[in-house]
Chain A
Amino acid sequence: MSEFTSDSEIVGATALSENQYLTFRLADEAYGVDILKVEEIRGWEPVREIPNTPDFIKGVLNLRGVVVPIIDLRARFGMEQVEYHAKTVVIVLSIEAGEEQHVMGIIADAVSEVLDVDQDSIKKAPNLGAVVNTRYIKGMVMSENMVMLLDADKLLNPEEFSLIGEIG
């Protein structure tokens, strides 16, 4: 636990307000997703491309008989593309969009660690105007570096994809 939590250590607050986040890297940046949403982590393997979809949708993968779409987060965030390599991972997430449950994979450069995060230590993402869309960012925490906590449900909502697809 970092020094940021020291002022918020109120009785009984610790167990309830603490969440675990799986952190991963994209380029030099650290991101985190709620670990309860993570189904599994697997190595990158080629996927079947889906025609006429936004760039960041890499394709679909057979995950034990379930067809799972794979999202490239670098492309999603408009970051520079890299070749996938041995360390590239696919984090399979189970997300909720409205009433429905979807299973989706996100491609990350590497997974880092599981981080215990005190709810109170999560800082609001600064408003960066139109340059960076912070809708999908739940907040930020400091561990060794700054970690951006993603709201997987919003980020991977298929409805949002169509919006992006139409704009882009």
Chain B
Amino acid sequence: MTIDMEQFHQVFFEESFEGLDVMETGLLNLSPGTADMEEINTIFRAAHSIKGGSGTFGFMDVSAFTHVMETLLDEMRDGRRQVEQRGVNVLLGSVDCLREMLAAIQSGADVDADSVNQHQKELEVELNGGDGGAANEPEEVAVEQAEQPVVSSVKPGWHIIFCPHAHLMKTGNDPVRMFRELEELGNLIVEADFRGLPEIQDIDPEECHLSWDIRLEGEIERQEIDEVFDWVEDDCDMTIISFADEAGKSTTTVVEKAVSIESATEKPDEPPSTKAASQAAPKPATAAKQPNKKPAAKPASASIRVDTAKIDSLINMVGELVITQSMLSSLGDNFDMTRLDLLQSGLSQLESHTRELQQSAMGIRMMPISFVFSRFPRLVHDLSSKMGKQIELKLSGENTEVDKTVIELISDPLVHLVRNSLDHGVEMPDERVAAGKPALGTVHLNAFHRGGNIVIEVTDDGNGLDGDKLFNKAVEKGVIEADAILTEKEKFDLIFAAGFSTAEVVSDVSGRGVGMDVVRKNIEALGGHVEIRSKLGKGSTFAIYLPLTLAILDGQSVAVGDETYIVPLGSIIESFNLRSEMISHVAGRGETFRLRDEYLPILRMQKLFGVESSGTEDSSDGLLVVVEGQGTRCGLLVDDLLGQQQVVIKSLETNYRNIEGISAATILGDGSVGLILDIPGLLRLAKR
């Protein structure tokens, strides 16, 4: 009997990636020279679970690689080795390598063997260079020699001929597991003997038909080998003979060379076959028939970890909802007008429960932003040392919760912004000192909620943006006309223009002029926007505004002619009756109105959307809804305000395509489709 291990793979990968994050964070916190035991222990434990897990699931190359890391960490833990920057860097590199290996295995792709070997070498060099190197010699040998196919028999070691009885597997023993144990003892070469294999139609997959010829090299006590085979002694025929004795007699055993199962000789760049072998090993017959069985590269099923408290509250709400529902249905059984009050209170209860249920359900998708932030210490660490800058990263508001989808989509743009701050924002130490600033620059990542938005700010105390320089550059690049008149803010926004970069030297970090426009595009695709605040010489702040969730929106329904549209509530500033004397015309056509101290354009929704109306064209009985989108404001002239409601966002692009001025659709209470207005899009539309 075998358990299908593959069902646990997803969990293993998730845990391993989490473990890698823990290791990375821990390594970054390690300061050279001083050994923080707690931190090293945490790193060690994470490495150990990855090693254990990968061993269990048969990802032997991962396990072997992690083992070397673990050895190094173990020495640090025992105080046999100083914590040095060099060692930490090597370990950090290995964490990356391990992450790549796992990702490759997860997606069924080939592991980059060169990179693995290189990192492994680095680790080994580090190990051997250290004081405690000698203690790990056997393992080193095992790993190194694994790549050499044949070994001469003069070496110390044991030759084991292992012929299990057919019922071996039924006793709960698994040869593969035993081979793994042997592998711990020394360099292992296993050859399977297929001669006992019956015809395919006669195979009983639960029986063991193979026997193995095992060569185990190294200074190993006979007793250790006996221990491994302790449980199967009665279920197999076995001869154990040392190489030395064997050299005397001449062995005539000719073994049909076929596959070597589960030894370190498995090349690390063949995860599928490793997997197939380990998986099918308990059923050797099938393994032999289909050694190249590849796991289909299926898309990783996404999963999230949810706080049990959140689930409890969700279950609670469902319970309440059921109670309300039964109350309402009993009320409906023999309803008369005298019980109208009860009905109304029941309905309002239903409403509040539905809302709470919705919130709980949304809460499940919420994750703290620290999932994104956690990768930045590493990024800043690596980049600042690469660029020769001294930069300190401050994080705050890591516990701000935001929808999982937003988390996934925001991390790339955010990385770009942080890189940008590191590269263009913070100056070199000498420049900073010359400018009267401390040599240590600061980059501050901050997240907080504001209204229905989450705001993520990337602030640096660097040089700030030079509006005029940006302007000149933009003119030079042909992004704008030389005679254009821009506000300071508009000048800053130029860096988001496509094909724009002010960096004098194009570095590998940033400066190719691709990116900032993509950053803005990605953020806008999420329904958010970016704002720049900057002071020359003092530093700049990039603030990303994002909706908390992409699934539900508070909306205000407005009537335009015979149609109904939904305006996102968050973008509405105020609304009032527009009287004709409030309108002033610009150049005889463009209409504006004055709102306190600024003049705002009026967008006539009827005209803009070409909606037929049974009402009048007279502006005097229109309602003006003042809205804000991407920092600009305007008034939407609509016929009526209808009501507020939460709407579930349905993408129009799923079945159609994006429409200017409309961000998405939704299903209204009566089952018909409602369209949600996109304020920035409307402004663009109006400019045409």
Measured between beta carbons, the chain A residues less than 8 angstroms from B611 are 49, 51
Measured between beta carbons, the chain A residues less than 8 angstroms from B650 are 65-67
Measured between beta carbons, the chain B residues less than 8 angstroms from A53 are 659
Give the contacting residue for B667; candidates A65, A103, A104, A162; CB below 8 A.
A65
Measured between beta carbons, the chain B residues less than 8 angstroms from A135 are none
Inter-subunit contact A60/B673 (CB<8 Å): yes
Distance (Å) between the CB of A144 and the closest chain B CB? 34
Q: B240-272 CB contact bits vs A (8 Å, 1 = yes)? A: 000000000000000000000000000000000
Measured between beta carbons, the chain A residues less than 8 angstroms from B152 are none
Give the contacting residue for A67; candidates B563, B654, B661; CB below 8 A.
B654
Inter-subunit contact A67/B610 (CB<8 Å): no
A77 to B393, CA, bound (A): 61
A111 to B656, CA, bound (A): 24
Give the contacting residue for A158; candidates B608, B656, B671; CB below 8 A.
B656
Please classify how large the interface on chain A is, using the bins under 10, 10 to 19, 20 to 34, 35 or more: 20 to 34
Measured between beta carbons, the chain A residues less than 8 angstroms from B675 are 48, 50-51, 60
Interface centre among B655, B657, B671 (most CB of A within 10 A): B655
Closest to A159 in B: B657
Inter-subunit contact A158/B657 (CB<8 Å): yes
Distance (Å) between the CB of B231 and the closest chain A CB? 53
A47 to B667, CA, bound (A): 12
Inter-subunit contact B671/A62 (CB<8 Å): yes
Closest to B665 in A: A67
Closest to B562 in A: A49
Inter-subunit contact B665/A52 (CB<8 Å): no
Measured between beta carbons, the chain B residues less than 8 angstroms from A67 are 650-652, 654-656, 665, 667, 673
Interface residues of A in 48-80 (CB under 8 A from B): 48-53, 59-62, 65-69
Measured between beta carbons, the chain A residues less than 8 angstroms from B662 are 50-51
Given contacts A48-B675, A50-B675, contact A102 B608 (CB under 8 A): no
Interface residues of B in 639-688 (CB under 8 A from A): 650-652, 654-657, 659-662, 665, 667, 671-675, 685
Inter-subunit contact B655/A52 (CB<8 Å): no
Q: Is B609 an interface residue (CB 8 A)?
A: yes
Give the contacting residue for A48; candidates B651, B657, B660, B672; CB below 8 A.
B672
Given contacts A50-B659, A53-B659, A103-B655, contact A62 B667 (CB under 8 A): yes
Inter-subunit contact B685/A66 (CB<8 Å): no
Measured between beta carbons, the chain A residues less than 8 angstroms from B667 are 62, 65, 67
Q: Is A44 an interface residue (CB 8 A)?
A: no
Distance (Å) between the CB of A38 and the closest chain B CB? 15
Please classify how large the interface on chain B is, using the bins under 10, 10 to 19, 20 to 34, 35 or more: 20 to 34
Interface centre among A51, A53, A69 (most CB of B within 10 A): A51
Distance (Å) between the CB of A142 and the closest chain B CB? 34
Inter-subunit contact A48/B674 (CB<8 Å): yes
Inter-subunit contact A68/B660 (CB<8 Å): no
Inter-subunit contact B655/A66 (CB<8 Å): yes
Closest to B685 in A: A52
Measured between beta carbons, the chain A residues less than 8 angstroms from B685 are 52
Inter-subunit contact A52/B673 (CB<8 Å): no
Q: Is A136 an interface residue (CB 8 A)?
A: no
Distance (Å) between the CB of B651 and the closest chain A CB? 8
A46 to B673, CA, bound (A): 10
Measured between beta carbons, the chain B residues less than 8 angstroms from A48 are 563, 665, 672-675
Give the contacting residue for A104; candidates B563, B610, B655, B673; CB below 8 A.
B655
Distance (Å) between the CB of A74 and the closest chain B CB? 19
Interface residues of A in 84-115 (CB under 8 A from B): 102-104
Measured between beta carbons, the chain B residues less than 8 angstroms from A102 are 654-656
Closest to A65 in B: B667
Interface residues of A in 145-162 (CB under 8 A from B): 158-159, 161-162
Measured between beta carbons, the chain A residues less than 8 angstroms from B656 are 60, 67, 69, 102, 104, 158
Interface residues of A in 109-142 (CB under 8 A from B): none
Inter-subunit contact B657/A61 (CB<8 Å): no
Closest to B666 in A: A67
Inter-subunit contact B657/A60 (CB<8 Å): no
Distance (Å) between the CB of A152 and the closest chain B CB? 13
Measured between beta carbons, the chain A residues less than 8 angstroms from B659 are 50-53
Given contacts A52-B660, A65-B667, A66-B650, contact A47 B655 (CB under 8 A): no
Measured between beta carbons, the chain B residues less than 8 angstroms from A46 are 672
A145 to B650, CA, bound (A): 42
A47 to B671, CA, bound (A): 11
Distance (Å) between the CB of B659 and the closest chain A CB? 6
Measured between beta carbons, the chain A residues less than 8 angstroms from B661 are 51-52
Inter-subunit contact A68/B608 (CB<8 Å): no
A80 to B338, CA, bound (A): 57
A20 to B264, CA, bound (A): 57
Distance (Å) between the CB of A97 and the closest chain B CB? 10
A47 to B661, CA, bound (A): 19
Give the contacting residue for B652; candidates A49, A60, A103, A162; CB below 8 A.
A60
Distance (Å) between the CB of B650 and the closest chain A CB? 5
Measured between beta carbons, the chain A residues less than 8 angstroms from B652 are 50, 60, 67, 69
Closest to A104 in B: B655
Distance (Å) between the CB of B645 and the closest chain A CB? 16
A162 to B656, CA, bound (A): 11
Give the contacting residue for A49; candidates B563, B608, B654; CB below 8 A.
B563
A47 to B563, CA, bound (A): 11
Distance (Å) between the CB of A55 and the closest chain B CB? 11
Given contacts A51-B608, A60-B665, contact A66 B657 (CB under 8 A): no
Measured between beta carbons, the chain B residues less than 8 angstroms from A49 are 563, 611
Give the contacting residue for B657; candidates A65, A103, A161; CB below 8 A.
A161
Distance (Å) between the CB of B46 and the closest chain A CB? 38
Distance (Å) between the CB of A165 and the closest chain B CB? 10
A61 to B657, CA, bound (A): 15
A104 to B610, CA, bound (A): 23
Distance (Å) between the CB of B550 and the closest chain A CB? 16
Measured between beta carbons, the chain A residues less than 8 angstroms from B674 are 48
Distance (Å) between the CB of A88 and the closest chain B CB? 18
Closest to A71 in B: B656
A104 to B657, CA, bound (A): 12
A8 to B665, CA, bound (A): 50
A65 to B675, CA, bound (A): 14
Inter-subunit contact B610/A47 (CB<8 Å): no
Inter-subunit contact A51/B655 (CB<8 Å): no
A63 to B541, CA, bound (A): 45
Closest to B651 in A: A67
Give the contacting residue for A69; candidates B609, B655, B660, B672; CB below 8 A.
B655
Q: Which 7 A-B pairs have the closest CB atoms?
A: A51-B609, A48-B673, A158-B657, A67-B665, A69-B656, A102-B655, A67-B650
A52-B661, A67-B655, A158-B657 are known; give 7 further A-B pairs, CB within 8 A. Answer: A51-B661, A52-B609, A60-B656, A65-B650, A67-B654, A67-B667, A69-B656
Q: Which residues of B contact A (CB under 8 A)?
A: 563, 608-611, 650-652, 654-657, 659-662, 665, 667, 671-675, 685
Name 24 interchain pairs, CB-CB below 8 A, sorted by A: A46-B672, A47-B673, A48-B672, A48-B673, A49-B563, A51-B609, A51-B610, A51-B661, A51-B662, A52-B610, A52-B685, A60-B656, A60-B675, A62-B667, A62-B673, A65-B650, A65-B667, A66-B654, A67-B652, A67-B655, A67-B673, A104-B656, A159-B657, A161-B657
